[in-house]
Structure 1
Amino acid sequence: MRLVVVGCAGSFPSADSAASAYLVQAEDADGRTWTVLLDLGSGALGPLQAHTDPTALDLVGISHLHADHVADLVVFNVLRRYRPEGACAPVRLHGPPGTLERLAQIAGKDPATEVTGQFDFEPWQEGVPVTVGPLTIEPVAVLHPLPAFGMRVSGPSDVDPAGTVTLAYTGDTDECAGLTTLAEGVDLLLAEAAYIEGRDDALRGVHLTGRRAGAAAEAGKAGRLVLTHLVAWNDPQTTLAEAQGEYDGPIDLARPGAVYTL
């Protein structure tokens, strides 16, 4: 199983990165590659095309409905619907309740049937796993100002063909029971860390800091921590230092194009 960072900027695209978008890929027993996209935020459709064919995705999973995680699904629909060779078959889309209505709202005057016609939508249900090829996705409710889910993704190991590995993506969250569930025993924890200790202490229930992300990885005994959703006005080295103060394992700052093989 592989994780590819497509975009990792927090809240809005930076000069160097699109907003949140991540690919998870794995091969089945017949050698067929299955591809899942986690979030498609502002500006992410462009770099996505450098990593995979957007018309050949097997499933799209959306953590929550803020624009920096979902906005480019509207133009993703355009790419798939109006290509010269004809529209694609609808792709499986999982997200919070109200996802299709949110996309229609972002699209404005476009009829909802035009905006949502490329999606076979099912809402996440807490504790109900979703299977796509050799991958299993478990949605976990987390703490954010609107309904939000993190995702645990399990699948075959690229390192040990006989083994199974798990990565977890927090989406956007503060400390909560769901974060504990996400981090527990995972091989890689992809954790947002948009806030800074001291500066943002009064803003609870929205985002993690590097320290809180590191503490979750340490408590869950995660194998690796990747810090993402890094806001342009933050010094990433400050976020990294916060996490290093809590977690003794390997830590990376997410960057566009990074690939993690599990």
Structure 2
Amino acid sequence: MTARLTVVGCSGSFPGPESPASCYLLEAEQDGRTFRILLDLGNGSLGHLHRYADPLRVDAVFLSHLHADHCLDMCGYYVMRKYHPTGPQPRIPVWGPQDTPGRLARAYDLPLDPGMTEEFDFFVHGEPVRVGPFVVETVRVTHPVDAFALKVTVGHRTVVYSGDTGPCQALTDLAAGADLLLCEASFRDGVVNPPDLHLTGSECGTTAAEAGVGRLVLTHIPPWHDPQVALAEARTTWSGPLDLAVAGMVIEL
């Protein structure tokens, strides 16, 4: 099965000069057509998504949590699907935390009823979900709001996306044996970091080593940090294949 992951946006906390905020496009062939899902749609990412796929050809969206850098471009996506010159587009499923419909309606100053429910069919993270060739599993991770790591299996390949999290066993367990761990590295070692919020590069490496993943890709590094520092920190705890996510990066699965 042909499948690939494209990094649409990977900047941490807010868009940076080289990348929009978090958004990852997964594509795979099945039954003679290409299925596409998005993991997050953070601020600035919808515009960049046009470079890699027609946003109207996306089959489903999975939101790790409801901070702006992971979900706010759903507002623009709502406008695109509601007011497109070819007419209103069919609803597509959106999975996220419990308050996803309300959060997005408030973000666009819409009445809660109907909010965006005429454009998106909202579901709460829970049981594994199948979309075409993709099976998506979620687990709650450590963050100040309801936040989830996502595991995507396509064929015999598995990708785990940390979303935003502090160190937690749930992420390590979800990532066990994954081919690829896409892991946020927002914090730096050697400073006092707030607890239960984000990971350092070395903590990403420890998670990858304990989970026995095939490849570690660091992402969600804020523009105020040097990504090479995160890379060097990860190398202190992880000896396997290691890369930095950059906007436009394509990983064949």
TM interval, short-chain normalised: over 0.9
Provide the aligned length of Structure 1 versus Structure 2: 250
Per the TM alignment, residue 177 of structure 1 is displaced from its structure 2 partner at its CA by 1.9
Structure 1 runs not aligned, ≥5 long: 157-163
CA deviations over 1:24-57 (Å, ceiling 9, x no partner) = 11112x2321101000001111001111111111
- Report if the CA contact (8 A) 1:103-1:116 is conserved: no
- Report if the CA contact (8 A) 1:169-1:182 is conserved: no
2:188 is aligned to 196
Residues 1:85 and 2:76 are matched in the alignment: no
Structure 2 runs not aligned, ≥5 long: none
The one of 142, 159, 163 equivalent to 1:167 is 159
Task: Say which SS state the counterpart of residue 35 (structure 1) adopts.
Answer: strand
Structure 1: 4+ residue segments shifted above 6 A:
none
The one of 10, 13, 17 equivalent to 1:11 is 13
Once superposed, what is the RMSD of the aligned Cα atoms? 1.0
- Report if the CA contact (8 A) 1:64-1:96 is conserved: yes
1:256 is aligned to 247
Per the TM alignment, residue 72 of structure 1 is displaced from its structure 2 partner at its CA by 0.4
Equivalence map 1:104-253=2 (5 Å): 104-108=105-109, 110-112=110-112, 113-125=114-126, 128-156=127-155, 164-199=156-191, 201-253=192-244
Partners of 1:153 and 1:259 in 2: CA distance: 16
Per the TM alignment, residue 114 of structure 1 is displaced from its structure 2 partner at its CA by 5.0
Partners of 1:175 and 1:148 in 2: CA distance: 13
Partners of 2:238 and 2:118 in 1: CA distance: 44
Partners of 2:240 and 2:174 in 1: CA distance: 17
Q: TM-score, normalised by structure 2?
A: 0.96
CA deviations over 1:146-196 (Å, ceiling 9, x no partner) = 10001110012xxxxxxx110000000011121112221000000000000
1:69 is aligned to 70
Task: Say which SS state the counterpart of residue 40 (structure 1) adopts.
Answer: coil
Per the TM alignment, residue 111 of structure 1 is displaced from its structure 2 partner at its CA by 3.1
Partners of 2:164 and 2:244 in 1: CA distance: 16
- Report if the CA contact (8 A) 2:205-2:238 is conserved: yes
Partners of 2:82 and 2:51 in 1: CA distance: 19
Equivalent residue letter for 2:224: W
Once the two structures are aligned, what percentage of the paired residues are identical? Answer: 47
- Report if the CA contact (8 A) 1:140-1:181 is conserved: no
Greater mean alpha carbon deviation, residues 38-47 or residues 172-181:
172-181
Equivalent residue letter for 1:211: S
